[in-house]
């Protein structure tokens, strides 16, 4: 298992999710200003807003899980380095 490669992949995914969060946030800001439109159009915007909030929650959960994975892998690398360093002393 190449921990360095896994960490690099997780970091790239975190950047992608971070960019998605920025876009979702901007979309939600735009939708909040359109909420007071006539009923048929307003309903579409509200449905879209609910979908975007759902996506936002999912993206945040992905970031939380990836942060835990990164933390665990980092601790594993540090522990392995400490064991390897102690063996060389």
Domain boundaries, the chain: 3-81
| Backbone angles phi and psi of 66, in degrees to 5 | -65, -35
Evaluated on CA atoms 22, 23, 24, 27, the torsion sign reads positive
Q: pTM value?
A: 0.54
pLDDT at residue number 38: 59
Q: What is the mean pLDDT of the chain?
A: 75
27 within 8 A of 52, measured Cβ to Cβ: yes
Convert the pLDDT of each residue in 22-50 to its tens digit.
887 777 776 665 555 556 665 666 677 78
Pick from 16, 11, 21: which is nearest to 57 by CA? Answer: 21
């Amino acid at each position: 298992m190449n921990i360095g490669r896994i960490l690099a992949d997780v970091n790239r995914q975190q950047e992608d999710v971070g960019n998605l969060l920025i876009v979702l946030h901007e979309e939600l800001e735009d939708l909040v200003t359109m909420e007071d439109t006539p009923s048929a159009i307003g309903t579409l915007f509200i449905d879209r807003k609910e979908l975007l909030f759902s996506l936002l929650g999912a993206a945040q959960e992905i970031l939380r899980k990836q942060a835990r994975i990164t933390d665990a892998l980092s601790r594993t690398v540090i522990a392995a380095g400490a064991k390897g360093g102690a063996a060389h002393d």
